[in-house]
Each structure stands twice: as structure tokens, then as C-alpha cells.
Amino acid sequence: MEKEFKSLKEFYPFYLSEHQNFESRILHFIGSGLSLLLLLAALLFHNFWFFVAIPFVGYGFAWAGHLFFEKNKPATFKYPLYSLASDFLLFFDLLSGKQSFKAN
């Protein structure tokens, strides 16, 4: 039986366990960073197409990391909101040095 997560705080350690590969973490970081830049561009330029590109860019990089490097199924399919929030938690944890691109 699969675990039911009751909070993001409870889910995040599971998320990190599914993101151990160096290359995958880099791809997640790039996808999340580009998604934030696309959001900023959409707001600055009032261009709908930047909004449309966000999920394709963000998930494209992340799913490539899972397919080619992690060799696991993205948590997005079972826990979409926790997974999306965790993508950005990991992005900022990597940016701040709280997490390493080389997982323990």
C-alpha cells in the first residue's frame, strides 16, 4: 500500500529520494529556472505564449531527467501539487546551497 502524504513537509523527503541523480537535479534546476523566467516574461510582455510554454519547458527538462537519468516515474503523476511545490523548493534549496546538485 502506498503512503498518503498529509503535508508538503512530509512529502519533500520522499521527493528528494526520487531526485538523487546529479544530471537529473541539473535538468530540474534548469527547467524550474526557465519556468520562472517565462513567468516573468509573460508578466512583463503581456504575452500569452510565454504562459503556454511554462509547463512544456519545466516538465520537459524534469521528465527528461527522470527518463534518462533517474530511471523512475515522476511524482507529478500521483502528487501533482506537492510535486510542483517541491520542484521549486528544490530549485531554491539548490540555489541557496541548502541542497547539493550531488545528492548524498
Q: Which pLDDT value is given to residue 1? A: 47
- Residues 45/51, Cβ–Cβ less than 8 Å: no
Q: Which pLDDT value is given to residue 40? A: 98
Per-domain boundaries in the chain: 9-96
CB atoms within 10 A of CB 44: 9
Query: How confident is the prediction along the chain (104 residues), in pLDDT tens digits per residue?
Result: 467 899 999 999 999 999 999 999 999 999 999 999 999 999 999 999 999 999 999 999 999 999 999 999 998 889 999 999 999 999 999 999 999 999 76
Please report where in the chains the cell 528528494 appears, as a residue. 16
User: First vs last Cα of the chain: how many Å apart?
Assistant: 27
